[in-house]
Amino acid sequence: MRPERMGRGPWQNESRGTHMDHLAEHNAQPGSPQEFPPSLGGGKTAVSAAPARGVPKPLFIAVAVLAAALAAICAWLAVCSRDQDRAMASMRSSKEFMRQELDQASAGLAAVQEELAQARKDLARARDAIGLLEEYSLAAPNGTVPEYTALYPDFYAPAWEGETVSGGKVCCLTFDDGPSPNTDRVLEILDRYGVKATFFVVGAGKSGQADQERMRNIAAAGHTIAMHSWTHDYKKVYASVEAFLDEFSTLYQYIYEVTGVRPQLYRFPGGSINGYDRGVYQEIIAEMTRRGFVYFDWNASAQDATPRPRPSWDIAGDCLKGIGRELVVVLAHDSAARGTTVDALPAVIEGYQNAGYTFSALHPGVEQVTFGYPKIR
Protein backbone atom coordinates (compact mmCIF):
# COMPACT_ATOMS: atom_id res chain seq x y z
CA MET A 1 0.00 0.00 0.00
CA ARG A 2 1.56 3.23 -1.12
CA PRO A 3 1.81 5.52 1.74
CA GLU A 4 -0.34 8.54 1.46
CA ARG A 5 1.41 11.71 0.36
CA MET A 6 1.43 13.72 3.33
CA GLY A 7 1.52 17.44 3.55
CA ARG A 8 4.71 19.22 4.40
CA GLY A 9 5.38 19.06 7.96
CA PRO A 10 6.78 21.82 10.00
CA TRP A 11 10.24 20.38 9.72
CA GLN A 12 10.05 20.43 5.97
CA ASN A 13 8.94 24.05 5.88
CA GLU A 14 11.73 24.90 8.27
CA SER A 15 14.20 22.99 6.12
CA ARG A 16 13.03 24.76 3.03
CA GLY A 17 13.15 28.05 4.75
CA THR A 18 16.68 27.31 5.85
CA HIS A 19 17.74 26.39 2.33
CA MET A 20 16.18 29.53 0.93
CA ASP A 21 17.89 31.60 3.52
CA HIS A 22 21.29 30.17 2.54
CA LEU A 23 20.50 30.75 -1.09
CA ALA A 24 19.52 34.32 -0.36
CA GLU A 25 22.71 34.87 1.56
CA HIS A 26 24.71 33.45 -1.33
CA ASN A 27 22.96 35.59 -3.90
CA ALA A 28 23.25 38.65 -1.73
CA GLN A 29 27.10 38.63 -1.95
CA PRO A 30 28.37 41.41 -4.19
CA GLY A 31 29.12 40.27 -7.73
CA SER A 32 27.50 36.85 -7.32
CA PRO A 33 24.68 35.82 -9.74
CA GLN A 34 21.38 35.41 -8.12
CA GLU A 35 19.90 31.95 -8.82
CA PHE A 36 16.41 30.85 -8.05
CA PRO A 37 15.25 27.28 -8.18
CA PRO A 38 12.76 26.38 -10.90
CA SER A 39 10.08 25.84 -8.38
CA LEU A 40 10.41 29.49 -7.37
CA GLY A 41 11.24 31.23 -10.54
CA GLY A 42 10.37 28.87 -13.39
CA GLY A 43 13.96 28.49 -14.52
CA LYS A 44 17.45 29.58 -13.69
CA THR A 45 18.12 33.23 -14.18
CA ALA A 46 21.42 34.96 -13.33
CA VAL A 47 21.47 38.68 -12.43
CA SER A 48 24.90 40.32 -11.86
CA ALA A 49 25.19 42.96 -9.13
CA ALA A 50 26.75 46.35 -10.31
CA PRO A 51 30.36 46.76 -9.16
CA ALA A 52 31.15 49.63 -6.72
CA ARG A 53 32.21 52.91 -8.42
CA GLY A 54 35.21 55.21 -7.39
CA VAL A 55 38.27 54.56 -5.15
CA PRO A 56 37.67 52.52 -2.05
CA LYS A 57 37.67 54.68 1.06
CA PRO A 58 40.81 53.20 2.70
CA LEU A 59 42.93 53.85 -0.39
CA PHE A 60 41.53 57.37 -0.78
CA ILE A 61 42.34 58.18 2.84
CA ALA A 62 45.90 56.84 2.42
CA VAL A 63 46.51 58.96 -0.67
CA ALA A 64 45.11 62.07 1.04
CA VAL A 65 47.31 61.51 4.08
CA LEU A 66 50.37 61.00 1.85
CA ALA A 67 49.60 64.20 -0.12
CA ALA A 68 49.18 66.18 3.09
CA ALA A 69 52.45 64.79 4.39
CA LEU A 70 54.24 65.74 1.17
CA ALA A 71 52.75 69.24 1.30
CA ALA A 72 53.87 69.61 4.89
CA ILE A 73 57.39 68.44 4.01
CA CYS A 74 57.57 70.87 1.08
CA ALA A 75 56.38 73.72 3.28
CA TRP A 76 58.94 72.80 5.94
CA LEU A 77 61.72 72.67 3.35
CA ALA A 78 60.65 76.08 2.00
CA VAL A 79 60.73 77.56 5.50
CA CYS A 80 64.13 75.97 6.13
CA SER A 81 65.47 77.34 2.84
CA ARG A 82 64.13 80.82 3.60
CA ASP A 83 65.60 80.74 7.09
CA GLN A 84 68.91 79.57 5.67
CA ASP A 85 68.92 82.42 3.15
CA ARG A 86 68.16 84.87 5.90
CA ALA A 87 70.91 83.39 8.04
CA MET A 88 73.42 83.62 5.18
CA ALA A 89 72.38 87.19 4.43
CA SER A 90 72.72 88.05 8.10
CA MET A 91 76.16 86.44 8.20
CA ARG A 92 77.25 88.37 5.13
CA SER A 93 75.90 91.60 6.60
CA SER A 94 77.64 90.90 9.90
CA LYS A 95 80.89 90.12 8.10
CA GLU A 96 80.71 93.37 6.12
CA PHE A 97 79.88 95.31 9.26
CA MET A 98 82.83 93.76 11.08
CA ARG A 99 85.10 94.59 8.12
CA GLN A 100 83.94 98.20 8.18
CA GLU A 101 84.43 98.40 11.92
CA LEU A 102 87.92 96.94 11.55
CA ASP A 103 88.80 99.44 8.83
CA GLN A 104 87.55 102.30 10.97
CA ALA A 105 89.47 101.01 13.96
CA SER A 106 92.64 100.71 11.86
CA ALA A 107 92.21 104.24 10.55
CA GLY A 108 91.61 105.50 14.07
CA LEU A 109 94.70 103.71 15.33
CA ALA A 110 96.81 105.20 12.53
CA ALA A 111 95.51 108.67 13.38
CA VAL A 112 96.29 108.16 17.07
CA GLN A 113 99.79 106.93 16.23
CA GLU A 114 100.35 109.97 14.02
CA GLU A 115 99.13 112.31 16.74
CA LEU A 116 101.34 110.54 19.26
CA ALA A 117 104.37 110.94 17.00
CA GLN A 118 103.62 114.64 16.58
CA ALA A 119 103.11 115.03 20.34
CA ARG A 120 106.51 113.44 20.94
CA LYS A 121 108.10 115.89 18.52
CA ASP A 122 106.34 118.81 20.21
CA LEU A 123 107.48 117.57 23.60
CA ALA A 124 111.08 117.22 22.45
CA ARG A 125 110.91 120.68 20.94
CA ALA A 126 109.50 122.13 24.15
CA ARG A 127 112.20 120.42 26.20
CA ASP A 128 114.88 121.91 23.97
CA ALA A 129 113.33 125.34 24.35
CA ILE A 130 113.06 124.97 28.11
CA GLY A 131 116.68 123.87 28.27
CA LEU A 132 117.80 126.95 26.36
CA LEU A 133 115.68 129.23 28.54
CA GLU A 134 117.11 127.62 31.66
CA GLU A 135 120.58 128.18 30.28
CA TYR A 136 119.95 131.90 29.85
CA SER A 137 117.92 132.21 33.04
CA LEU A 138 120.80 130.85 35.06
CA ALA A 139 123.00 133.51 33.53
CA ALA A 140 120.57 136.24 34.64
CA PRO A 141 120.86 137.87 38.09
CA ASN A 142 119.49 135.61 40.83
CA GLY A 143 118.49 133.03 38.19
CA THR A 144 115.40 135.01 37.19
CA VAL A 145 113.50 134.47 33.95
CA PRO A 146 114.16 137.23 31.38
CA GLU A 147 111.51 139.93 31.44
CA TYR A 148 110.96 139.72 27.68
CA THR A 149 109.19 136.40 28.16
CA ALA A 150 106.21 138.37 29.47
CA LEU A 151 106.10 140.74 26.50
CA TYR A 152 103.55 140.46 23.69
CA PRO A 153 101.25 137.84 25.23
CA ASP A 154 99.42 137.38 21.88
CA PHE A 155 102.61 136.70 19.96
CA TYR A 156 102.53 132.89 19.82
CA ALA A 157 102.46 130.54 16.84
CA PRO A 158 99.38 128.40 16.26
CA ALA A 159 99.83 124.66 16.69
CA TRP A 160 100.88 122.75 13.59
CA GLU A 161 98.28 120.15 12.57
CA GLY A 162 99.65 119.05 9.21
CA GLU A 163 101.84 116.19 8.07
CA THR A 164 105.60 115.76 8.20
CA VAL A 165 107.59 115.84 4.97
CA SER A 166 110.11 113.01 4.96
CA GLY A 167 111.94 110.98 2.35
CA GLY A 168 112.52 111.66 -1.32
CA LYS A 169 114.11 114.63 -3.00
CA VAL A 170 112.29 117.84 -2.14
CA CYS A 171 112.94 121.41 -3.23
CA CYS A 172 111.52 124.38 -1.31
CA LEU A 173 111.60 127.73 -3.11
CA THR A 174 111.62 130.76 -0.82
CA PHE A 175 111.34 134.47 -1.62
CA ASP A 176 112.46 137.19 0.81
CA ASP A 177 111.68 140.92 1.11
CA GLY A 178 108.32 140.96 -0.69
CA PRO A 179 105.69 141.73 -1.62
CA SER A 180 106.62 143.78 -4.67
CA PRO A 181 105.41 144.30 -8.24
CA ASN A 182 107.44 141.20 -9.13
CA THR A 183 105.25 139.12 -6.81
CA ASP A 184 102.55 139.04 -9.46
CA ARG A 185 104.89 137.45 -12.02
CA VAL A 186 106.27 134.99 -9.47
CA LEU A 187 102.76 133.83 -8.57
CA GLU A 188 101.84 133.40 -12.23
CA ILE A 189 104.91 131.22 -12.91
CA LEU A 190 104.38 129.12 -9.80
CA ASP A 191 100.76 128.58 -10.77
CA ARG A 192 101.74 127.58 -14.30
CA TYR A 193 104.07 124.85 -12.98
CA GLY A 194 101.82 123.83 -10.09
CA VAL A 195 104.51 124.66 -7.52
CA LYS A 196 103.97 125.89 -3.95
CA ALA A 197 106.56 128.20 -2.38
CA THR A 198 107.21 130.29 0.73
CA PHE A 199 107.23 134.09 0.96
CA PHE A 200 109.10 135.71 3.88
CA VAL A 201 107.54 139.17 3.78
CA VAL A 202 108.41 142.47 5.43
CA GLY A 203 106.03 145.17 6.61
CA ALA A 204 107.64 148.59 6.41
CA GLY A 205 106.73 150.33 3.18
CA LYS A 206 104.28 147.53 2.29
CA SER A 207 101.09 149.00 3.68
CA GLY A 208 99.66 150.18 0.36
CA GLN A 209 96.56 148.61 -1.12
CA ALA A 210 98.49 146.92 -3.95
CA ASP A 211 100.94 145.19 -1.61
CA GLN A 212 98.17 144.13 0.75
CA GLU A 213 96.35 142.58 -2.21
CA ARG A 214 99.54 140.73 -3.17
CA MET A 215 99.82 139.33 0.35
CA ARG A 216 96.27 138.10 0.15
CA ASN A 217 96.97 136.54 -3.24
CA ILE A 218 99.96 134.69 -1.79
CA ALA A 219 97.83 133.18 0.94
CA ALA A 220 94.86 132.49 -1.35
CA ALA A 221 97.07 130.55 -3.80
CA GLY A 222 98.09 128.12 -1.06
CA HIS A 223 101.64 129.37 -0.56
CA THR A 224 103.16 129.82 2.89
CA ILE A 225 103.35 133.39 4.10
CA ALA A 226 106.01 133.87 6.77
CA MET A 227 107.82 136.65 8.68
CA HIS A 228 111.08 138.41 7.76
CA SER A 229 110.92 141.35 10.24
CA TRP A 230 109.06 144.63 10.00
CA THR A 231 111.87 146.97 8.88
CA HIS A 232 114.64 144.60 7.71
CA ASP A 233 117.01 147.07 9.37
CA TYR A 234 119.75 144.95 10.93
CA LYS A 235 120.70 147.47 13.58
CA LYS A 236 117.11 147.82 14.75
CA VAL A 237 116.20 144.16 14.50
CA TYR A 238 119.23 142.88 16.42
CA ALA A 239 119.57 145.66 18.97
CA SER A 240 118.22 143.28 21.65
CA VAL A 241 115.91 140.36 22.17
CA GLU A 242 113.16 142.84 23.03
CA ALA A 243 113.76 144.75 19.77
CA PHE A 244 113.57 141.51 17.77
CA LEU A 245 110.29 140.57 19.45
CA ASP A 246 108.88 144.03 18.77
CA GLU A 247 109.75 143.81 15.06
CA PHE A 248 108.30 140.36 14.57
CA SER A 249 105.23 140.74 16.76
CA THR A 250 104.30 143.88 14.79
CA LEU A 251 104.67 142.03 11.49
CA TYR A 252 102.80 139.01 12.88
CA GLN A 253 99.79 141.16 13.74
CA TYR A 254 99.91 142.98 10.39
CA ILE A 255 99.94 139.74 8.37
CA TYR A 256 96.99 138.46 10.36
CA GLU A 257 94.98 141.66 9.86
CA VAL A 258 95.62 141.68 6.08
CA THR A 259 95.36 137.97 5.23
CA GLY A 260 93.72 136.26 8.22
CA VAL A 261 96.78 134.00 8.49
CA ARG A 262 98.77 133.59 11.70
CA PRO A 263 102.33 132.83 10.56
CA GLN A 264 104.28 129.96 12.08
CA LEU A 265 107.63 130.48 10.34
CA TYR A 266 110.22 133.24 10.35
CA ARG A 267 113.59 133.95 8.79
CA PHE A 268 116.34 136.08 10.27
CA PRO A 269 117.30 139.03 8.06
CA GLY A 270 120.74 138.00 6.82
CA GLY A 271 120.29 134.45 8.15
CA SER A 272 120.36 133.14 11.70
CA ILE A 273 124.09 133.81 12.06
CA ASN A 274 125.31 137.12 10.74
CA GLY A 275 127.54 140.00 11.71
CA TYR A 276 124.83 141.79 13.68
CA ASP A 277 123.23 139.18 15.93
CA ARG A 278 126.13 137.25 17.40
CA GLY A 279 125.43 138.49 20.91
CA VAL A 280 121.70 137.77 20.90
CA TYR A 281 120.82 135.15 18.30
CA GLN A 282 120.81 132.20 20.70
CA GLU A 283 118.49 133.97 23.11
CA ILE A 284 116.28 134.99 20.19
CA ILE A 285 116.06 131.40 18.96
CA ALA A 286 115.27 130.14 22.47
CA GLU A 287 112.51 132.68 23.03
CA MET A 288 110.97 132.32 19.57
CA THR A 289 111.02 128.53 19.96
CA ARG A 290 109.29 128.85 23.33
CA ARG A 291 106.57 130.82 21.56
CA GLY A 292 106.15 128.05 19.00
CA PHE A 293 107.82 129.63 15.95
CA VAL A 294 110.18 127.80 13.58
CA TYR A 295 112.92 129.48 11.59
CA PHE A 296 114.56 128.43 8.32
CA ASP A 297 117.87 129.34 6.76
CA TRP A 298 118.83 127.96 3.32
CA ASN A 299 121.33 125.64 1.61
CA ALA A 300 121.10 127.00 -1.96
CA SER A 301 120.97 130.63 -3.04
CA ALA A 302 120.20 132.69 -6.12
CA GLN A 303 122.97 135.07 -5.06
CA ASP A 304 120.73 137.88 -6.22
CA ALA A 305 121.16 140.27 -3.25
CA THR A 306 123.61 142.36 -5.22
CA PRO A 307 123.70 146.09 -6.01
CA ARG A 308 123.36 145.39 -9.72
CA PRO A 309 121.05 142.73 -11.17
CA ARG A 310 122.74 139.53 -12.29
CA PRO A 311 121.90 137.74 -15.55
CA SER A 312 119.08 135.25 -15.22
CA TRP A 313 121.21 132.30 -16.40
CA ASP A 314 123.76 132.99 -13.65
CA ILE A 315 120.98 133.12 -11.07
CA ALA A 316 119.48 129.86 -12.35
CA GLY A 317 122.89 128.16 -12.26
CA ASP A 318 123.44 129.15 -8.62
CA CYS A 319 119.97 128.03 -7.61
CA LEU A 320 120.52 124.61 -9.18
CA LYS A 321 123.68 123.99 -7.14
CA GLY A 322 121.42 122.43 -4.54
CA ILE A 323 120.86 119.38 -6.75
CA GLY A 324 122.24 116.33 -4.98
CA ARG A 325 120.82 117.16 -1.56
CA GLU A 326 117.76 115.33 -0.29
CA LEU A 327 116.16 118.57 0.91
CA VAL A 328 116.97 121.83 -0.83
CA VAL A 329 115.84 125.22 0.49
CA VAL A 330 116.52 127.85 -2.18
CA LEU A 331 116.86 131.52 -1.21
CA ALA A 332 115.72 134.12 -3.76
CA HIS A 333 114.46 137.67 -3.40
CA ASP A 334 111.12 139.22 -4.31
CA SER A 335 111.88 142.91 -4.48
CA ALA A 336 111.23 145.43 -7.24
CA ALA A 337 114.84 145.32 -8.45
CA ARG A 338 114.97 141.52 -8.88
CA GLY A 339 113.37 141.14 -12.31
CA THR A 340 116.10 138.79 -13.52
CA THR A 341 115.38 136.50 -10.59
CA VAL A 342 111.84 136.14 -11.87
CA ASP A 343 113.18 135.54 -15.38
CA ALA A 344 115.31 132.66 -14.04
CA LEU A 345 112.47 130.99 -12.18
CA PRO A 346 111.16 128.70 -15.00
CA ALA A 347 114.67 127.32 -15.61
CA VAL A 348 115.11 126.69 -11.87
CA ILE A 349 111.82 124.82 -11.59
CA GLU A 350 112.45 122.71 -14.69
CA GLY A 351 116.02 121.96 -13.60
CA TYR A 352 114.89 120.50 -10.28
CA GLN A 353 112.01 118.66 -11.90
CA ASN A 354 114.35 117.03 -14.41
CA ALA A 355 116.58 115.98 -11.52
CA GLY A 356 113.66 114.12 -9.90
CA TYR A 357 112.66 116.64 -7.23
CA THR A 358 109.19 117.48 -6.02
CA PHE A 359 108.31 120.90 -4.63
CA SER A 360 106.87 121.87 -1.27
CA ALA A 361 106.19 125.05 0.61
CA LEU A 362 107.91 125.30 3.97
CA HIS A 363 105.93 124.54 7.12
CA PRO A 364 106.72 123.11 10.59
CA GLY A 365 106.47 119.58 9.16
CA VAL A 366 109.50 120.15 6.90
CA GLU A 367 112.91 119.29 8.31
CA GLN A 368 114.53 122.45 9.57
CA VAL A 369 117.45 123.80 7.53
CA THR A 370 119.69 126.07 9.61
CA PHE A 371 123.24 127.33 9.68
CA GLY A 372 125.58 126.51 12.54
CA TYR A 373 123.17 126.55 15.46
CA PRO A 374 121.70 123.17 16.57
CA LYS A 375 118.24 122.49 15.17
CA ILE A 376 115.34 122.76 17.61
CA ARG A 377 112.41 120.49 16.69
Of residues 101 and 52, more confidently modeled: 101
pLDDT at 365 over 80: yes
Q: What pLDDT does 86 receive?
A: 76
Least confident of 39-48, 200-209, 257-266, 292-301: 39-48
| pLDDT attached to residue 15 | 44
pLDDT range class, residue 372, cuts 50, 70, 90: confident
State residue 140's pLDDT score.
53
For the stretch 7-43, pLDDT in tens is: 444 434 444 444 444 444 444 444 444 444 444 444 4
Percent of the chain residues topping a pLDDT of 70: 78
Using alpha carbons, list the distances in angstroms from residue 245 to 130, 256, 265, 302, 316.
18, 16, 14, 29, 35
pLDDT, tens digit (0-9, with 9 covering 90-100), for 115-132? 787 777 667 666 665 665
CA distance 227 to 176: 9
pLDDT at 6 exceeding the cut of 70: no
Question: pTM of the full predicted structure?
Answer: 0.65
Residue 356 has pLDDT above 60, yes or no: yes
pLDDT of residue 293: 97
Q: What is the mean pLDDT of the chain?
A: 82
Determine the pLDDT at residue 56: 66
Higher local confidence (pLDDT), 262 or 17: 262
pLDDT at res. 55: 54
